Structures are given as C-alpha cells and as structure tokens.
C-alpha cells in the first residue's frame, strides 16, 4: 500500500516554502451552502483516478492508532537494525508519502532515549493524512471497520467509519512559520498552506498542530472543529504558558474569514470555544519521549479513539514507529504487511532495507 495515491492531500513540497497568497477566488462562501444539513462534502480536489486508487487501497485497511502490542519476533531484529548504525549514508526508506527520503540517522533517533526529528514527525504526519484519505474512500462505500488494540491489554474497539473524524495533521513547520518573526503572529506566512493541501477547515473535524517549545520539547495542539473546542497536550501536563492556543485561535478565525467568509466567522465564534483538559492523556516521566507521546496522541485523536498508552509503552511504540515509517503505511496488520515477510528474516544492517 506504500505506493498508492501519494498525493492524497495535494502537492506535498517542503512545508517551509508554503507561504504566499491565496488563489483568486478564495474567500467568502455562502453560509447556507456551508452549514446546511444536506451539505455534500467536497472530494478535496482529487482526480477520479486518485479516488479509485484510494477506494482500492482502502479495502481491508486497518484504521486504528499505533499499537503498543509487541512486534512479531521476525520483525524485531529487522526493525532494530534500521537504526543500528546512524552513520550509514544511504537512504533506508527512499522517497515516502511526505516526499522525504529517510536515512539511517532518521531511524537511529527512534531507539533508546533520543529525540525525534522533523523528518520522522513529518513522515508520520503524512501517513496519518493518507490514512484519513483511505477512510474517506471507505466512507463513500458505507463500509465498517474494526479498530486494533491500542495497548497490549486493551480490548478490540469496534467502530463505524462514520465515527472516525475527518482529520488533518499539519507539519512541524506550520506553527513555527505562523509565529516565525521573533514570535510575532504572521497569518500571511501560512495563508496558502491549506489551499495547497486542498484542505478546507470546514470539511475537517479535527486539526492537529505539533509545536516545538524551547527548541527541545514537543507538544500538541488539537482544534476540534466539529465540537468546537481546543485542546493543548504537553506530555508533562504543563499549562500553555507560551500562548500557543491563543495564536491558533487567532489563526482559525483568520483562516475562516479568508476562506469561508465573515458569516462563518460570526457563526463559529471561535473566541468562545473552550480549552478542554488533557489530564487523561499519557504523562511523560523521562527526558526524551515527548515526541513519541505527542505523535501517538495525535494518531489516536485522528481516528477518534482514546490514547490509553503510557510511558512504559514507549519502547514498543518506538519500534512500531520505525516499522510504520519503513513500510510507509499505517493501515497494515502485523499478519498482512504489504511486503514479503522474508525481508524481515535475518536482517542485520540498515543497508538491508534498501534491497
């Protein structure tokens, strides 16, 4: 499934270059068209061929957060070999859905107590967004899915596709661009980001924004457009002292005004959306897991299932992150990976992944 419809959400060039102005015609939309009960959701600008590819890929796909169940034994040696030698110079995972070539050094940070990089976080973000596109394809067919285990001892969670939120996870560069000028708010710097992705905030249920605090600590902001609230998740469960939610509240208002019109801005009244508690989310107890925990919490929010992981799950989650990034896929079950299982047998060096 790794080669299917890599352009699910539009052109995916480097996010740090996505400033600029919106296209002519962007802006005010009729509030009755947008808010009417019989609204037909747009297809996000996908060509019919891409839609058919998504429909084909979605059949039998797994729609669930990253599992904390231990990897099958024949995967473990291979996955650990991916990051064994951080000095290996060749690509381990050539051009993925995020248009990033992951090197051994990128996989190297997934093991032990290392901090995750932009390449890792943004590659996984595009897998979340690709999975959302597959879920949309199955919704069109009215199918139902069975979620997988969230933790090793959690029961299977059965849910209809209609309960999976329509989600989009921004790259790690979005918030830094939004506040790039010495912390000064700059909507113009990101005005064209959703346009290039063919993402309408009105068509999304959940928007997920990773933020790097103090150059060393990953947190997550979630905007629930469907139920109209904000959430701030710091793995230390600290408060939003940096005004991140305040900045995103302002961005959402400006984005709605620019793309949807003043009537939607008045109807949504974003300034009065509450900030909900994240006290039930996993707590970090080390100095290096903020990236892993914020990434997996985003993964759970993107499919509408609770984040029941804990700090003790982090070693397994790091291995599963590595496997998902190598496969370039979140929707495969362990017993039905989209590669010959023999590729995992006896692997001992990052170069094996290039074969």
Most confident of 55-59, 102-106, 109-113, 260-264: 260-264
How many Cβ atoms from other residues are within 10 Å of residue 103's Cβ?
Answer: 18
Of 132, 99, 164, nearest to 328 by C-alpha is 99
- Residue 153's pLDDT band (boundaries 50, 70, 90)? very low
- Residue 316's pLDDT band (boundaries 50, 70, 90)? very high
* 274, pLDDT greater than 60: yes
| 21-80 confidence digits (pLDDT tens) | 333 333 444 444 444 333 333 333 334 444 444 444 545 567 889 999 998 887 888 888
* 177, pLDDT greater than 50: yes
* Lookup result for tokens 């069975």: 146
Q: What distance in Å separates the CA atoms of residue 269 and residue 299, rounded to the nearest whole number?
A: 28
Identify which has the larger pLDDT, 348 or 52.
Answer: 52
Predicted local distance difference test score (pLDDT) of residue 59:
52
Mean pLDDT of 293-308: 95
Most confident of 87-91, 153-157, 158-162: 87-91
Write b or e for each residue in 177-198: b if 16 or more Cβ atoms lie within 10 A of its Cβ, otherwise e: bbbbeeeebeeebbbbbbbbbb
* 344, pLDDT greater than 80: no
Picking from 121-130, 136-145, 219-228, which range would have the lowest pLDDT averaged per residue?
136-145
How many Cβ atoms from other residues are within 10 Å of residue 238's Cβ?
Answer: 12
Burial environment of residue 336 by CB neighbours within 10 A (0 to 12, 13 to 18, 19 or more): exposed
| Dihedral over Cα of 179, 166, 256, 51: its sign | positive
Flag whether the pTM goes above 0.75. yes
Predicted local distance difference test score (pLDDT) of residue 181:
67
Mean pLDDT of 316-344: 76
- Residue 4's pLDDT band (boundaries 50, 70, 90)? very low
Q: What distance in Å separates the CA atoms of residue 261 and residue 287, rounded to the nearest whole number?
A: 44
User: Angle CA(11)–CA(326)–CA(129) in degrees, nearest 5?
Assistant: 35
Predicted local distance difference test score (pLDDT) of residue 337:
61
* 145, pLDDT greater than 60: no
Identify which has the larger pLDDT, 156 or 35.
Answer: 35
Alpha helices in the chain (DSSP H): 31-35, 48-58, 73-82, 104-108, 118-141, 173-178, 193-196, 244-259, 262-268, 290-303, 314-327
Picking from 51-60, 122-131, 272-281, which range would have the lowest pLDDT averaged per residue?
51-60
* Lookup result for tokens 């997996």: 296
* 102, pLDDT greater than 70: yes
* 322, pLDDT greater than 60: yes
Q: What distance in Å separates the CA atoms of residue 326 and residue 315, rounded to the nearest whole number?
A: 17
Q: Which domains does the chain have, with CATH numbers?
A: 15-36+62-340 (3.40.395.10)
Average pLDDT of the residues of the chain: 77
Mean pLDDT of 312-339: 85
H or E segment at 221?
strand 217-224
């Amino acid at each position: 499934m790794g080669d299917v419809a890599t352009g699910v959400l539009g052109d995916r060039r480097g996010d740090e270059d996505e400033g600029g102005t919106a296209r002519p015609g962007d802006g005010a939309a009729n509030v009755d068209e947008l808010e009417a009960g019989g609204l037909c959701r747009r297809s996000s600008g996908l060509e019919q061929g891409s839609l058919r590819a998504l429909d084909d890929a979605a059949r039998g796909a797994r729609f669930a957060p990253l599992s904390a169940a231990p990897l099958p034994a024949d995967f473990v040696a291979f996955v650990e070999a991916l990051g064994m030698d951080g000095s290996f110079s060749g690509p381990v995972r050539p051009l993925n859905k995020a248009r990033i070539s992951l090197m051994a050094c990128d996989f190297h940070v997934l093991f032990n107590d290392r901090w995750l990089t932009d390449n890792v976080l943004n590659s996984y973000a595009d897998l979340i967004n690709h999975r959302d596109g597959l879920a949309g394809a199955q919704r069109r067919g009215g199918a139902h899915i069975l979620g997988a285990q969230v933790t090793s001892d959690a029961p299977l969670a059965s849910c209809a596709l209609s309960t999976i939120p329509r989600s989009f996870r921004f790259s790690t560069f979005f918030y830094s661009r939004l506040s790039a000028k010495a912390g000064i708010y700059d909507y113009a710097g990101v005005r064209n980001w959703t346009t290039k992705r063919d993402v309408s905030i009105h068509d999304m249920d959940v928007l997920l924004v990773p933020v790097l605090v103090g150059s060393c600590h990953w947190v997550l902001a979630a905007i629930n457009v469907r139920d109209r609230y904000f959430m701030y998740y710091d793995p230390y469960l600290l408060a939003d002292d940096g005004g991140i939610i305040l900045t995103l509240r302002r961005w959402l208002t400006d984005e709605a005004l620019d793309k949807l019109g003043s009537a939607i801005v008045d109807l949504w009244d974003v300034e009065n959306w509450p900030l909900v508690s994240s006290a039930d989310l996993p707590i970090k107890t080390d100095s290096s897991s903020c990236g892993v925990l914020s990434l997996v919490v985003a993964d759970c929010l993107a499919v509408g299932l609770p984040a029941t992981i804990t700090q003790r799950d982090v070693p397994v989650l790091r291995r599963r992150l590595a496997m998902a990034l190598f496969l370039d896929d979140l929707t495969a079950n362990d017993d039905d990976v989209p590669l010959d299982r023999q590729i995992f047998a006896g692997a001992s060096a990052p170069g094996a992944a290039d074969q």
